[in-house]
């Protein structure tokens, strides 16, 4: 039964997932609607407990929805067990078999499916090459670095050519530099293979740098689903404005308007002294943080503390009276939370 366009890999319709029994139940996923296109690098982003992992587990078939429907490539998969879904998962702890060498780990899924040994070795070797681990086949997982283990886990999950790869915070155990390298490699790998990647992370930088689109989760709901640029440039709610990048959230009454507004720190210019005018606020410079290529200024305006980023080091001293100025187009009116 086909119920959506063929290029839709995953469709969630009004999906709810509740744990526990009333009155102590947790609604981990709360009426989520979402469509992921085939070949897309899609991230589920949100703070701890926001429901992103449960959502991924629902797609993988490790949890059953309490209500709603999950389709994979146009077919209702709500009741299918994980092994009947054309997908695979990379878990944060990699879950490699310690007694098997790298080649055996990668070829395991093929062995289970009865693929002959020569074919198995050929495909596992090709996959190891794709994750840049040629020559590591005979090592045991204990003889690898964290980053290398991560690549083995990826190769193992990709060797049987799933249509969708689910990745649950796969870079969480790596140090920052390695994580950044792996982000670039993962994206390149995904592009090269053309497989749909669904990636769970609480790291907004990670989500922004790799994804075609990102769903921002808060309290089991999607607050915004957009491209990284649209999320950053046009956050819809205060939660998204604060969680994706940093933003000043300005009450409208401070600037003669109604509602709440987001203004990115890099979109605020600083002028010397108190200068009156449209799109300007006068304040006191509270603090200056030198960050290398940028300098962050904390400025008190009325009861608010606003942040601005400057690419040149300002000449003002702490305590100086200064004026903040922005373009009208940089101001984003925020909606109430969903």
Give the residues lining the site for ligand ATP (CB under 6 A). Answer: 19-20, 26, 28, 46, 48-54, 202
Residue 226, Cα to own-chain centre: how many angstroms? Answer: 11
CB of 142 to ligand ATP, least distance (A): 27
Q: Which is nearer to ligand ATP, 54 or 308 (CB)?
A: 54
Q: Which is nearer to ligand ATP, 48 or 329 (CB)?
A: 48
Q: Which is nearer to ligand ATP, 202 or 332 (CB)?
A: 202
Six-digit token string for 82: 């994980």
Q: Which is nearer to ligand ATP, 46 or 147 (CB)?
A: 46
CB of 244 to ligand ATP, least distance (A): 15
CB of 338 to ligand ATP, least distance (A): 16
| Of 232, 8, 283, 185, residue with least CA distance to 224 | 232
The CA distance from 330 to 264, in Å, is 8
CB of 201 to ligand ATP, least distance (A): 8
Q: Which residues are CB-neighbours of 130 under 8 A, at least 6 positions away?
A: 155, 158, 189, 192, 193
Six-digit token string for 334: 């925020």
CB of 164 to ligand ATP, least distance (A): 18
Q: Is residue 243 exposed (0-12), middle (13-18) or buried (19+ Cβ within 10 Å)? A: buried
Q: Which is nearer to ligand ATP, 207 or 281 (CB)?
A: 207
Which value, in Å, is the radius of gyration of the alpha carbons in the chain?
A: 24
Instruction: Please give the residue whose beta carbon sits closest to ligand ATP in the complex.
Output: 53
């Amino acid at each position: 039964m086909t119920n959506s366009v063929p290029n839709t890999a995953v469709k969630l319709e009004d999906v709810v997932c509740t744990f526990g029994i009333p009155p102590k139940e947790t609604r981990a996923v709360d009426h989520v609607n979402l469509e992921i296109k085939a070949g897309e690098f899609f991230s589920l982003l949100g703070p701890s407990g926001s429901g992103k992992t449960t959502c991924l587990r629902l797609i993988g078939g490790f949890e059953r929805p309490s209500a709603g429907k999950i389709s994979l490539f146009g077919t209702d998969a709500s009741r299918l067990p994980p092994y009947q879904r054309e997908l695979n998962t990379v878990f944060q702890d990699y879950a490699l078999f310690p007694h098997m060498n790298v080649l055996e780990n990668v070829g395991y899924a093929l062995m289970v499916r009865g693929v002959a040994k020569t074919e198995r070795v050929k495909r596992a070797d090709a996959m190891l090459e794709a994750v840049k681990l040629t020559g590591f086949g005979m090592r045991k997982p204990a003889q690898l670095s964290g980053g290398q283990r991560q690549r083995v886990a990826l190769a193992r999950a990709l060797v049987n050519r799933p249509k969708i790869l689910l990745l649950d915070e796969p870079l969480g155990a790596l140090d920052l530099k390695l994580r950044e390298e792996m982000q670039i490699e993962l994206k390149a790998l995904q592009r090269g293979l053309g497989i749909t990647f669904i990636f769970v992370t609480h790291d907004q930088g990670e989500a922004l740098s790799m994804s075609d689109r990102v769903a921002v989760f808060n309290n089991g709901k999607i607050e915004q689903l957009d491209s990284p640029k649209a999320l950053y440039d046009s956050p819809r709610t205060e939660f998204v404005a604060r969680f994706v990048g940093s933003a000043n959230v300005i009450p409208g009454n401070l600037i003669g308007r109604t509602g709440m507004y987001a203004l990115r720190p890099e979109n605020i210019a600083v002028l010397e002294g108190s200068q009156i005018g449209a799109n300007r606020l006068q304040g006191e410079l509270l603090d200056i943080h030198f960050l290398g290529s940028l300098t962050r200024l904390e400025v008190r305006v009325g009861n608010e503390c606003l942040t601005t980023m400057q690419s040149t080091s300002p000449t003002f001293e702490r305590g100086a009276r200064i004026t903040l100025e922005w373009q009208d187009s940089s101001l984003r009116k925020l909606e109430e939370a969903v």
